[in-house]
Structure 1
């Protein structure tokens, strides 16, 4: 039997004083056990409800996702049917024309062959029959239809693959973007982005200094600040047709969009989703056709403003780069500054929030060529120097910094009836996904 010094105190009391203290201790322990079992029962019930809720929510989400994928597949299937029908229609039209030419030419050749054969069978002494055969050969030669139209200069249905390729690019970009949103950025990625933003801010602290964002630089440098722009359909004017979230074209017939308080009503404009308020952002736009303006607009700017004040760059709440079919220019607060640079179908936009600057670049062969960097210049003390500043820069000095007190959105204005643009995929090569005309 173990010594008393190794036994629990309550058991020692039992050995020395009887069973009454043990009964009290037993009641106390049993009571605590009962309380703990009640707590565990309630907790188990809650955990079971949580498990059931998770399973139910996951099942419902699976059903929603499956339904949406089925709808997306139906849309793609319908588009596939439309494209294949377009090819078949083009093929039938062109084949009908070409096969008709072929049939007429074969018939003429057959007539000529028969007439020539008949003429060869006439004896030379039979001059009357010979003249008749020669006349028949000449008539067969004259009644010919001439050469065919030849191969067509362009097969209209071959542009179908370009359209499908554009859809594939949009889907690929959208799937990658939404996949990243689902997974969320990792800690290292967030830290890298924070460091890049800090370095960029440090480089551009002096307003009049030159840095990588102001000079020619490899495109890879700007891709560190890449921002995925998706068009917001709730802001699109009724005369703008969206192609997914990346393409937009101005059309003649209005589109029956649903009512939205953020929709432009007097200007053919559309904004990007999401508002920007800190850091450095870079995106690219491909000008496919027409007069196009690209830039930024304050999130709180009223989309019901009239045409003269609501257009991109014609107010203090927005600024832009415009291509008017002949030349580039920049607009801010109703003033325009022409640019001497030649046309570039791909334009890069870099928004430096901490430095309160917006830069536009021509993108060619992996290189960035600065078109214009909009920024308020350092205050000048000399009134003589101040009076020599161009009106556009003076307007920037007075009002441009105020634009950055607001949350900004990528903005697009399609000015001409044939205007068409595409938000470029931010990849290593800058190759159009659509055919430029």
Structure 2
């Protein structure tokens, strides 16, 4: 098989490829890459004496080159002009001499036109001297570099580009116009250039440039304006944050000072009272000792000492401190917590406002407020507030105090009465017993329907409320008291007014004192209401229930109710009582006799 390693299509390279200089070391008449009856696979050497000689002999003998016969070309006719070799190359034959024109005609070969099974071999003049070297690799062609395609030629058809397709915006040749771009609008290159260089288009370009220049100037001004506005806003925000920090620092200083002042005043009062009691005790002890030391025979001295002891006993001392504001500074933490929650909510709301979240939900918010107004009416419009005591007695519920939950400083009177004492009571150890707070629970569970019970406040500070059945009675004092956590709530009487507690938040109630408090629990409605009971009239003190704020109003206590109070009704509930002061005393009841039958049925 012939070697194709050195073959190159004609017409792509310089003509020097056909007649290169003689490679050193190659003998005269030697040709490489030439196969039997085939196309010469290497450039034609400059010294082709024996090749042309053999060719002339074959031509004179009437032989027809096989390559020409296979391609159907035959020998070139007289109308074909002879191809002239470059006279500058050494060894090139004279123009029109010998078989050189036929050789170049045979070299006019396009491998893309080969049919299936056709061998790209050509019968060209050759000599038998080269046959032995025909199958050898072409060594001479390795040293030659490829020449690039000429500019202005179609890369597909290798023909000059002379037209422009406006459909595909590309230059095309004659064959492209006849095939791929036959249906396209193809114009000469000069006409397309004239079209591109129309003054109107150039004018549009100039206008665009001017507009871009103006836009760039405006954009630069806008950039500077944005930078300046952001810088000023940043300075204002930093200043406002500094002022807010000063406000918080001032508030912190005032709260700390309030705690210190309360501690100082209460300590002074307590220490003065302690000193008086110690002096009185020492004086009484001395008078008693003197009376005991009087001889039994000295009646006059005995009467004198007895009179001194009696005077000492009857001395009017300053009253003991009532501690009505007992540890009032302990509410400081709750106040700071309320400020923190309000600040946190305000920050979140304002951040949402900055992000524009309320814009899309404005209509929904108005609808929600309208629904809330119809769903959560005012207390004065509630039917429960208009009903008398007989209405609530229909839901009367028996409350029995559970002795296994009572703190050791609470003395129980049966299952209805409780009083706080100074001496601990040796109750048996129970895991359900309160150990840090003077509290006691009811035995009965409440988990559906409506419940009503009454509590009589006999003396002292008393809190009445409910608690979940899974509440840990061994919580610390701060977290274990009724209403100071999210698992309980209560109504407290602190000696001056009523206060509602839930989750550590309080709501002061401006109402007169009532000896009897009615508690109405609506489990299904998730509501708890406290009433002041006097004769058959009911005065609503506080209702704990989810409700919406009126526009422009915010209440931290109600906000806590809205967030966490409904979760209480996921548990079984129990009645709970907290006897805060040392003289606290309460009694469950009384209820009317005509409701006994109702209690029996329940």
Structure of larger gyration radius: 2
Does 1 or 2 have the higher relative contact order (CA < 8 Å, sep 6+)?
1
TM-score by length of structure 1 reads 0.49
TM-score by length of structure 2 reads 0.36
